[in-house]
Amino acid sequence: MPKLVQLLLKEDAAKFTVASFGEHFKTLYDPSKDFTCFDGSITIPFRFVNDDYCDCGDGSDEPGTSACTDCLFHCSNVGHVPMDIPSSRVNDGICDCCDTSDEYNSTAQCVNNCLILGEAAREEQRRQQEVFERGAAIRDEFIKEAKNEIAECEMKLQTLRKEIAVLEAIKNEKLALKKTAEEKERIAIEKHKLKVDESNKARTEEEIAEAAKEDQKLAEAAFIDLDTDGDEKIHFTELKPHLRFDQNKDGEVSDDEAKFFLHMKEEMDLDEFISVGWVIMKPYYFAGRDTSSMRPPKLRTPKPADIPDLSDSDLPSELTEPSTNTEESGSDDRDVDYEEDSKVPPFSPKPTEETPSVPYDEETQKLVDIAKRAREEYSDAESKYQDLLTKIRELEVTLETDYGPEKEFMALRNRCFELSERQYVYKLCPFDKASQKSIGDSSSEVSLGRWGKWTGPEDNKYQSMKFEGGAGCWNGPERSVEIFLNCADRNALLTASEPARCEYKFEFQTPAMCVRAVEKEPEHEHTEL
Ligand code: MAN
């Protein structure tokens, strides 16, 4: 409180309620006497009063100037509301106080209109009181409703907790059944897969054996072709006429070039040729030829007529040269397949249904079906359990939320309030979320935050609340809103502003704020009405 007013109030409090403060003020300043500061510290000649120099520590020598900082003039304004004005406004020719007391020593023609103003003020006060009364009555209802709702939530929670215990047991039982069924299914599918693998492998082996046979037939045919004297041996001289064996391409097949295909021996019989000679010779023998057309006819015993005519004369000259690119299609290809097969990782069936490449036998199919049903039943039990868990969590959150000392703010939950302000529609859903969207663009909703906490001062915590963690502001903080609450006889979002970028401020009125005086700390107000 300003120094001068404080002093006056202390010393003459009784008088102020009956007499005009201004009149009383005049008696304290007697120009025929020296002036003693109100705090008694010093006495000065009266000419020092209002000389625009501050002599008294309490500022009492300068009520009509602004020389002493922090000094106020008090108008009692009987009939209306008392008022404190800076002492610099006393006797400045402007009527500040409705009781005219501030212009006690000036030429200003002030009129005392405190009664008229006071009447209007009292009318407004009565109106506010009515709003308050209606609000307080609604608040009482809110409190009652909240009590019922909380009791209901608690009961529901108890029931659901019992139900969830049952659902959990069912879920665990279904899980155990699923595990057992899936293990049986896994073993059955593995067995099935092994069977399929084995039969594939057997088929592969058959094919390899078949190819080896084919190759042997080719060797036999070539042997007969090259054994020109028919002595059942290939002599190296029998190879020399065949230019396809000319490895250094000098136009003739040398002895060594010919012997090379006979393991550097002079001659070779059929068995040795099949197992050793043919392997080396085959690419040279078929050099440049379309090997598919060279597959021998189905020979049992190779006869000259059965053997494809593979003499040099039939081969185009460019094909008589050995070519390493030319591959024989039979066993080589199959070798590759076989190797690739062996690289396939060991089979491990997944617990989910898969379409088998070979249909399951009846027993396996039965186990697969049982496991499928077990999975479905478990998933059904699990989702029922999760649904119930969500409901329980919602009830727990409701019961944990601070809805005010008498749960009076609970009436605001599950409700939303909107306000159009400039180009935006602001929405507030207490205890849930706040948002902003551009008018005419309903898809542009931007989150201003989710319910956070009460932020009022210690003695009035429920005066404001904060919503936090909204959409990130470009190059700035996450959006947030602070909501200031006032008493009224209906809920409404009154104002929305953005005092700092992405930090919003709402004003919200609600009957929940209309706390009756008996529930409130008495307020120390200086009124003289
Ligand atoms: C949008 C609105 C404004 C905010 C800016 C920040 O336009 O959310 O309220 O100030 O983004 O970039």
501 CA to centre of ligand 1 in angstroms: 7
Domain count, the chain: 3
- Helix (H) / strand (E) element for 487: namely strand 480-487
- Which residue of 425, 439, 473, 506 sits with most ligand 1 atoms within 8 Å of its CB, as the best mutation to test the pocket? 473
Is 350's pLDDT higher than 60? no
Q: Looking at 352, 372, 400, which one is the last position of a domain?
A: 400
The ligand 1 atom at the shortest distance from the C-alpha of residue 446 is: 8
Enclosing domain of residue 50: 1-112
- Helix (H) / strand (E) element for 510: namely strand 503-510
Is 401's pLDDT higher than 50? yes
> Where in 317-460 does DSSP place strands (E)?
417-421, 424-429, 433-438, 446-454
299 CA to centre of ligand 1 in angstroms: 89
417 shares its domain with 507: yes
Is position 8 within any domain?
yes
What pLDDT digit, counting tens, does each position of 286-324 carry?
Answer: 875 654 444 443 333 333 333 333 333 333 333 333 433
What pLDDT digit, counting tens, does each position of 405-443 carry?
Answer: 999 999 999 999 999 999 999 999 999 999 999 998 878
What pLDDT digit, counting tens, does each position of 104-118 carry?
Answer: 888 999 999 999 999
497 CA to centre of ligand 1 in angstroms: 11
502 CA to centre of ligand 1 in angstroms: 6
Percent of the chain with pLDDT over 90: 64
Is position 271 within any domain?
yes
250 shares its domain with 104: no
147 shares its domain with 213: yes
81 shares its domain with 179: no
Average of per-residue pLDDT across 465-486: 96
Which protein residue has the closest C-alpha to ligand 1 atom 2?
502
- Helix (H) / strand (E) element for 504: namely strand 503-510
Whole-number pLDDT of residue 25: 62
Is position 519 within any domain?
no
What pLDDT digit, counting tens, does each position of 371-387 carry?
Answer: 999 999 999 999 999 99
Whole-number pLDDT of residue 523: 55
444 CA to centre of ligand 1 in angstroms: 11
474 CA to centre of ligand 1 in angstroms: 8
Is 166's pLDDT higher than 90? yes
229 shares its domain with 364: yes
Beta strand 433-438 pairing with 446-454: antiparallel
Local confidence band at 3 (pLDDT 50, 70, 90 cut-offs): low
The ligand 1 atom at the shortest distance from the C-alpha of residue 479 is: 8
Encoded tokens for 41: 């510290």
Whole-number pLDDT of residue 329: 38
What pLDDT digit, counting tens, does each position of 54-72 carry?
Answer: 999 888 887 766 678 777 7
What pLDDT digit, counting tens, does each position of 25-54 carry?
Answer: 667 888 899 999 988 999 999 999 988 889
What pLDDT digit, counting tens, does each position of 181-193 carry?
Answer: 999 999 999 999 9
155 shares its domain with 258: yes
Which protein residue has the closest C-alpha to ligand 1 atom 11?
473
Is 17's pLDDT higher than 50? no
Whole-number pLDDT of residue 442: 75
Is position 322 within any domain?
no
386 shares its domain with 264: yes
- Which residue of 423, 498, 504 sits with most ligand 1 atoms within 8 Å of its CB, as the best mutation to test the pocket? 498
Q: Looking at 400, 422, 457, which one is the last position of a domain?
A: 400
Please state, as a whole number, how many other Cβ atoms lie within 10 Å of the Cβ of residue 60: 25
Whole-number pLDDT of residue 60: 83
107 shares its domain with 169: no
**Greatest alpha-carbon span in the chain:** 167
Average of per-residue pLDDT across 168-186: 97
Structure letter (DSSP) for residue 36: E
59 shares its domain with 203: no
Phi-psi region of 469 (alpha: psi -120 to 50; beta: other; left: phi over 0): left
- Helix (H) / strand (E) element for 343: namely helix 330-343
Local confidence band at 4 (pLDDT 50, 70, 90 cut-offs): low
Phi-psi region of 491 (alpha: psi -120 to 50; beta: other; left: phi over 0): beta
Average of per-residue pLDDT across 480-509: 97
Whole-number pLDDT of residue 102: 87
512 burial level (CB within 10 Å; 0-12, 13-18, 19+): buried
370 CA to centre of ligand 1 in angstroms: 58
Pick from 477, 483, 479: which is nearest to 468 by CA? 479
Q: Please state, rounded to an integer, the average pLDDT across all residues of the chain.
A: 83
Is 335's pLDDT higher than 50? no
378 shares its domain with 421: no
457 CA to centre of ligand 1 in angstroms: 29
- Which residue of 425, 501, 503, 505 sits with most ligand 1 atoms within 8 Å of its CB, as the best mutation to test the pocket? 501
Local confidence band at 467 (pLDDT 50, 70, 90 cut-offs): very high
452 CA to centre of ligand 1 in angstroms: 21
- Helix (H) / strand (E) element for 464: namely strand 464-469
The ligand 1 atom at the shortest distance from the C-alpha of residue 471 is: 8
Pocket residues: Cβ below 6 A from ligand 1? 436, 446, 473-474, 498, 501-502
Is position 210 within any domain?
yes
Q: What is the CA radius of gyration of the chain?
A: 54
Non-local CB neighbours of 375 within 8 Å, separated by 6+ positions:
178, 181, 182, 351, 352
154 shares its domain with 208: yes
Non-local CB neighbours of 248 within 8 Å, separated by 6+ positions:
254, 257
The ligand 1 atom at the shortest distance from the C-alpha of residue 448 is: 8
Which protein residue has the closest C-alpha to ligand 1 atom 4?
502
Pick from 26, 156, 32: which is nearest to 102 by CA? 26
The ligand 1 atom at the shortest distance from the C-alpha of residue 498 is: 9
Half-sphere exposure at residue 474, Cβ-oriented, CA atoms within 13 angstroms: 1
Is position 316 within any domain?
no
226 shares its domain with 176: yes
Which protein residue has the closest C-alpha to ligand 1 atom 9?
502
Structure letter (DSSP) for residue 208: H
486 within 8 A of 508, measured Cβ to Cβ:
yes
Whole-number pLDDT of residue 62: 79
The ligand 1 atom at the shortest distance from the C-alpha of residue 504 is: 9
Is 247's pLDDT higher than 60? yes
468 CA to centre of ligand 1 in angstroms: 16
Phi, psi of 369 (to 5 degrees): -65, -40
Q: Cα torsion for 179, 185, 190, 191, to the nearest 10°?
A: 130
Q: Looking at 60, 90, 112, which one is the last position of a domain?
A: 112
Is position 329 within any domain?
no
79 CA to centre of ligand 1 in angstroms: 49
CATH number where 483 lies: 2.70.130.10
Whole-number pLDDT of residue 27: 73
Is position 67 within any domain?
yes
